[in-house]
Copies of this chain bind each other. A is one copy, B any other.
Amino acid sequence: MTKRSSSVTIRDVARQAGVSVATVSRYLNQNAPVSEPLSERIQQVMEELAYVPEATARQLALRKKHTIGLLLTNLHNDFFAPLLAGIEGVVSEKGYNLLVATCRPHLYSDNGVQFPLGSHNTDGMLVFADSLTDEQIARFHARRLPMVLIHKTPAPGVQIPFVTVENKAASRKLVDHLITVHGCGRIILMRGPEHQEDSYWREIGYRAALDDHGIPFDESLILRGAFEREVAYNTLKTFLQEPNHPPFDAVFAGDDDAAIGIYDALREVGLRVPEDVRVVGFDDSRMAPFLTPPLTTVRAPTEQVGRSAAHHLFQLLEGSLPELATVHATEMIIRQSCGCQDV
């Protein structure tokens, strides 16, 4: 039976309870004393009218959105589920809202289009890998928008907290394992997305391992995989169809998702894993232990990364300075796709 719109405002409550809006507001927020009798009356009226405060108005008045944003490149990798779970956990614990958006930065090359997330939207942002370019990040940073980078380090000189995982040493160890234990000498590297940092450091680790053993780096063994199953599949397929492609005895898949594509492509041409080709991944995703054969990989504490990142962002919002660099340790997980027997 309200006037027009279905929305009951604080003024309706105030009128009905015979008090001022200020008092109602104070009762709501418990930030100033309100006498017992009035409190009761207000509470009762609020229930009667089924009053729900309008978050928007509150946000405007407080200049605070109580919302943080998560910017991703896409959602087509199982990697994102644990990341999201970690983030959502601490965000909801803090009573905040979580805005999720994907963004391919090249779509916003010029400053024409509005970003899906920004200071108009959120109190702070979690930026995954290269969902934004360094330049775009710098712009947000210049406007003082609190940010934490995930799986990405800021451009040199830019002071933005980031959390990522140890890529290089782990990759090096992994490739070293292929060389030392399994005698591999011609290892294909399936890169991730171009300019992607994880991809970069995994390649550095790969090269380092080769170097350690005096194996020359061979550009023809480097393929583009984008950390996506289908892309990896297609890329390797194309490679294999090449009449005289270079010989190889192992594949470092870049990440676990790509490893699946690799498995597929190899199987289709009758190559067995690990007998004919050894395969290793990265992430230790939920499915890695259950592949055929179980995937040798590197465990990255993805959910923990999500939690750290969110925590750091909240520290930023609360005014304290979080750790600038957080690099979570990784751990090689030997299974059977590298040729090792059941552990």
Contacts and interface: CB of A to CB of B under 8 A. Distances in A.
A53 interface: yes
A272 to B, nearest CB: 14
B63 A88 contact: no
A150 to B, nearest CB: 16
A88 B102 CA distance: 8
Given A60-B60, A100-B88, A101-B92, A286 B54 contact: no
A286 B144 contact: no
Contacts of A35: none
Chain A interface bracket (under 10, 10 to 19, 20 to 34, 35 or more): 35 or more
B52 A119 contact: yes
A3 interface: no
Interface stretch (A18-26, A192-200, A233-241, A289-297): A289-297
Nearest to A50: B143
Contacts of A287: 78, 260, 286-287, 290-291
A81 interface: yes
A97 B116 contact: yes
Given A76-B81, A290-B291, A292-B292, A98 B99 contact: yes
B286 A78 contact: yes
Interface in A269-321: 286-287, 290-294
Contacts of A75: 81-82, 84-85, 88
